[in-house]
Structure 1
Amino acid sequence: MPDWLVIAIAVATPLLGFIGVLLGQLLTRQGARELDVWRRREETMRMLRWAAELTMQPESGALGLSVLDSLSRSELLQPADQPLISAVLATVTARAEAIYTEEEATGGIDEHTDND
C-alpha cells in the first residue's frame, strides 16, 4: 500500500468520525428544540382551554380573564400563538362588555350612589 494512502486513511478516519458525531449532535439538538416548541404549544393550548372555560362561568370569569392576560405575556407563548390568544381575549372581553351593557340597560346592575 502506498504511503500517501496510509496517511490519508489515518487522517480521514478520525475526521469522518468527528463529522459524523457533529452531525448527530446537530440533529439531536434540532429534535430537542422541536420537542420543546411542541411541549410549550401543548401547555399553552391546555391553559387556553382552561381559561376560556373559566371565563364562561359567572363566578370564575375574572380568574379566566386574568389567566388569559397572563398567558398572553408568558414566555410559554410562542409568537405564532399570540394572534389566537389575542382573538380569544378580544372575544371574551366583548362578550363580557355586552353582558354588562345589557344588564346596565335593564337595571340589573346596581349603580353606586352616595347617600349623604
Structure 2
Amino acid sequence: MRSSELRTMALRQKHQIDKQQQLLAAREQRLRFLKTQEANETAVTAEGERLRRLRERVEAQESKLRRLRALRGQVDLQKTYNVSLVPQQVITTARCTITFATRCSPEKTS
C-alpha cells in the first residue's frame, strides 16, 4: 500500500472513531436523562404514597374525633339529665326528712 492510501484509510478510521465517540456521548447523555426521569418518577411515586398514608391518618383521626364528640354529647346529655334529677331528689329527700317522723313511705313521696 502506498502512503496516500494509508493516510486515506487512517483518515476514514479517524472519522469513524469520531462518529462513534459522538454516538457514545449522545447515548450517555440520553442514559443520564432517562436515569434522572426515573429518579423523578420514583420521587413522585414516593410522595404520592406518603400523601396517601397521611390522608388515611387524617381520616382515622377525624373518625376518632367524631366518635369522641358523640361520646361527649352523650356525657353532656347524661349530665343534663342528672342535673334535672337532682332537684327532684332533693325535694323528695326534703319531704322524707320533714315527714320522716310520720314514716315517709315511697308511695307518699311520689
TM-score by length of 2: 0.51
C-alpha distance in 2 between matches for 1:102 and 1:23: 65
Residue 103 (structure 2) pairs with residue 109 (structure 1): yes
Aligned to 1:84: none
Partner of 1:70: none
Gaps of 5+ in 2: 1-29, 106-110
Is 1:13 the counterpart of 2:7? The answer is no
Runs of 4+ in 1 over 2 A off after TM superposition: 1-4, 54-57, 98-104, 108-111
Structure 1 or 2: more helix by fraction: 2
Distance 2:81 2:67 in 1: 21
After superposition, the C-alpha distances for 1:62-90 in whole angstroms (9 at most, x for unaligned) are: xxxxxxxxxxxxxxxxxxxxxxxxxxxxx
Two-structure CA RMSD over aligned residues (Å): 2.8
Count of residues in Structure 1 that have an aligned counterpart in Structure 2: 73
What fraction of aligned residue pairs are identical, expressed as a percent? 12
Is 2:70 aligned against 1:34?
no
1:22 aligns with 2:16: no
* Amino acid in the other structure paired with 2:103: I
1:110–1:29 CA distance, 2 compared to 1 (3 A): closer
Q: Bigger relative contact order, structure 1 or 2, given CA contacts below 8 A and separation 6+?
A: 1
**TM-score, normalised via structure 1 length:** 0.48
- Give 5+ residue unaligned stretches, structure 1: 62-94, 112-116
